[in-house]
Amino acid sequence: MPKALLVIDVQNDFCPGGALAVPHGDEVVGPCNVLISEFPLVVLTQDWHPVGHRSFASSHPGRSPFESVTLPYGPQVLWPDHCVQGTHGAELHRSLHTHRARWIVRKGHDPAIDSYSAFQENDRRTTTGLVGALRELGVDEVVICGLATDYCVRYSAIDAVEAGFRATVVEEACRGIDLDGSVGAAWDAMGLAGVRRVERVKDVRP
């Protein structure tokens, strides 16, 4: 059965100069493009938040970015306003080879629910439809790269395994935010969930 490549949130706001810049986030573009050139089935994801999204610190008077609050679906890190629909920050990085993508999955568009995973939103009930789409094509394994290791990559990889796919994350093609050791915790959580970790793009076979 075919493998799918999931390229997670390689967007301007997550790259240097962006509203929620991941350190060295733009360094993933080259490795991601190598993978994109080799996989026949490529899916991109894109954070796509409305103005005033509940995950934004600006929506919580007196709160600051990177604080945590409890929303109806559970704990939520508050972020700087980022990836607002239709803005430059929400656009995919201009050097990313987007023309080879079969689909672009937009997530986080519900103003009340954040969405890290390519497969479901943070309420753990609202799906993106990606599981069904991949199954329709007979996919049984996904390879994951992009931003950020400790949030959207982590949740996408673990959800992939929970949905019944084999999942591999390519470390060279990811970068993390690393809030209080969150990158290390992410790798531990992915390993416990059964996600395979490879260091280099050259170690991946489409």
Q: pLDDT, tens digit, for every residue of 142-197?
A: 999 999 999 999 999 999 999 999 999 999 999 999 989 999 999 999 999 999 99
Residue 149 falls inside a structural domain: yes
Query: Tell me, what CATH number does 13's domain have?
Result: 3.40.50.850
pLDDT at 42: 98
pLDDT exceeds 80 at position 1: no
Residue 124 falls inside a structural domain: yes
Query: How does DSSP assign 23-72, residue by residue?
Result: TTGGGGHHHHHHHHHH-SSEEEEEE-BPTT-TTBGGGSTT--TT-EEEET
Q: What number of other Cβ atoms are within 10 A of residue 161's Cβ? A: 16
Q: Which residues pair with 166 in a beta bridge?
A: 141
Please choose, from the candidates 188, 12, 170, the residue with its C-alpha nearest in 3D space to the C-alpha of residue 91. Answer: 12
* Residue among 15, 32, 145, 152 flagged as catalytic: 152
Residue 153 falls inside a structural domain: yes
* Residue among 107, 114, 145, 159 flagged as catalytic: 107
The residue segments making up the domain with residue 46 are: 3-50+80-203
Residue 55 falls inside a structural domain: no
pLDDT exceeds 90 at position 36: yes
Q: pLDDT, tens digit, for every residue of 84-120?
A: 999 999 999 999 999 999 999 999 999 999 999 999 9
Count of domains observed in the chain: 1
Distance CA 185, CA 98 (A): 30
Residue 36 falls inside a structural domain: yes
Tally of residues, the chain: 206
152 is a catalytic site residue: yes
* Residue among 3, 9, 47, 174 flagged as catalytic: 9
202 is a catalytic site residue: no
Average pLDDT of the chain, as a whole number = 97
Residue 65 falls inside a structural domain: no
